Amino acid sequence: MMVSLSKLKDRSIRNMGDVHPTVKNKALQMIEKAYKEGIYAQISSGYRSNKEQQRLYNKGRTTSGNVVTNAKPGQSVHNYGLAIDFFLVSEDGNQALWTVNKEWHRVAAIAKSLGFSWGGDWTSFKDYPHLELTGGLSWRDLKAGKCPTHLLQDVSSSTKDGILERGDNGSKVKQLQEDLLEAGEKLPRYGADGDYGQETEEAVKAFQARYGLEVDGIAGPKTMEKLKEVLKDMAEQKPSNGHEKNWEWAEEKGLFNGKDPRKPVTREQMATVLKRYDEMKQ
Ligand SMILES: [Zn+2]
């Protein structure tokens, strides 16, 4: 059976780890474009912590095996979440293919069209799986705090007329996720990370199912409108039975502002309430 696009993407998301959202987004776009051409590409690694880099550096030096890198912690673009490595897989998705052939070059070309620099173009040492999004900055620049800001802009789908879907990222996705959480949906693994992945898709589906909307996992106009409505209802909620008197009192005294009687209170809000109460007593 032919490997599905979502399987390639899911494996890649897992392997990439905590790379910059834009890097992740472009990597997934690359996989999708290649897939449409009948090329099955997958990401093998992405973000690498300094600890992980140290472990790799030790290989063939202080631990067994061959030397795999010359980069110490902080000396690899992977340590900054701006690099990924790819490889090809067989049509059934079960076998890794490491031969740098025509298809491999094609995937690299797609990546380059999305803004990546390819390690296969390096002159001194060729790193065929390697792709990075640094706008020409080196690890030294990155270590010094420089950042290729122009390449890492919010790539959320403002052009798609208010529709958000899997693969999108940015502030609009983050807002959607925060709204979903507030509406009671769950994002247990990633939370509101600004990245519309499988988890967000599932949360949108759950929301759509709950309110009798078409369950497609895409946050289009109808879903957005319903979400707004649900949040508005929640904001207008009355305090629950037995709490009305206490709520009225707290509202009258100015301890709370009269909104969201049934929403949880953060510790900083609690501190403010206690401070107000303390001032009231004096
Ligand atoms: Zn690499």
How far apart CA 77 and CA 168 sit, in angstroms, is 24
pLDDT of 79: 96
Select from 167, 155, 156, 165 the least CA-distant residue to 224.
Answer: 165
Mean pLDDT of 197-219: 94
Distance 35 CA to ligand 1 centre (A): 22
> Rounded to the nearest whole angstrom, what is the distance from the C-alpha of residue 82 to the centroid of ligand 1?
10
Give dist(CA 13, CA 246) in Å, integer.
48
β 41-45/96-97 pair status: unpaired
Are 31 and 97 in the same domain? yes
Same domain? For 212 and 258 the reply is: no
Residue where one domain finishes, among candidates 151, 177, 205:
151
Give distance in angstroms: CA of 188 to centre of ligand 1: 30
Domain check: are 61 and 146 in the same one?
A: yes
CA–centroid distance, 158 to ligand 1, in Å, is 31
pTM of the predicted model as reported, rounded to 2 decimal places: 0.58
In this structure, are 132 and 163 located in the same domain?
no
Higher local confidence (pLDDT), 249 or 61:
61
For residue 29, what pLDDT is reported? 93
- Residue 219: the pLDDT is 95
Whether the predicted pLDDT of 230 surpasses 60: yes
Output the CA 195–ligand 1 centroid distance in Å: 22
Least confident of 178-187, 191-200, 249-258: 249-258
Is there a single domain that holds both residue 103 and residue 162?
Answer: no
Residues pairing with 85 in the sheet: 45, 130
- Helices (H), strands (E): how many in the chain? 10, 5
Query: For 58-64, what is the mean pLDDT?
Result: 95
C-alpha 130 – ligand 1 centre gap (Å): 4
CA of 77 to the centre of ligand 1 (A): 8
pLDDT at 156: 47
Tell me which of 151, 180, 215 is where a domain ends: 151
145/17 same-domain check: yes
pLDDT confidence bin for 158, thresholds 50/70/90 = very low
Between 135 and 78, residue with greater pLDDT: 78
Distance, CA 173 to ligand 1 centroid (Å)? 28
HEC string of 144-182? CCCCCHHHCCCCCCHHHCCCECCCCECHHHHHHHHHHHH
What spacing in Å lies between the alpha carbon of 184 and ligand 1's midpoint? 39
The two three-digit tokens of residue 149, written as one number:
């800001």
Confidence check: pLDDT of 21 > 60? yes
What is the CA(99)–ligand 1 centre distance, in A?
Answer: 16
pLDDT of residue 74: 95
Q: How far is the CA of 44 from the centre of ligand 1 (A)?
A: 9
Ligand 1 center from residue 66 Cα (angstroms): 17
| Domain CATH number, residue 174 | 1.10.101.10
> What is the Å distance from ligand 1's center to 50 Cα?
14
Task: Examine the domain organization and report whether 103 and 216 are in the same domain.
Answer: no
Q: What is the pLDDT of residue 110?
A: 96
270/171 same-domain check: no
The last residue of a domain, from among 151, 183, 205: 151
Domain match, 110 and 186 both? no
Q: From the CA of 251, how far away is ligand 1's center (Å)?
A: 57
- Of the pLDDT bands very low, low, confident and very high (cuts 50, 70, 90), residue 135 is confident
The count of domains in the chain is 3
Q: How far is the CA of 138 from the centre of ligand 1 (A)?
A: 13
What is the CATH classification number for the domain harbouring 106?
3.30.1380.10
In which domain, by residue range, is 266 found? 244-281
**Same domain for 111 and 23:** yes
Do 147 and 225 belong together in one domain? no
The Å distance, Cα 78 to ligand 1 centre, comes to: 6
- pLDDT score recorded for residue 154: 54
| Å from CA of 249 to ligand 1 middle | 61
Q: Within this chain, do residues 131 and 12 fall inside the same structural domain, yes or no? A: yes
Tell how far the Cα of 139 is from the centroid of ligand 1, in angstroms.
12
The rounded Å distance from CA 84 to ligand 1 centre is 6
Return the residue matching tokens 């996992």: 217
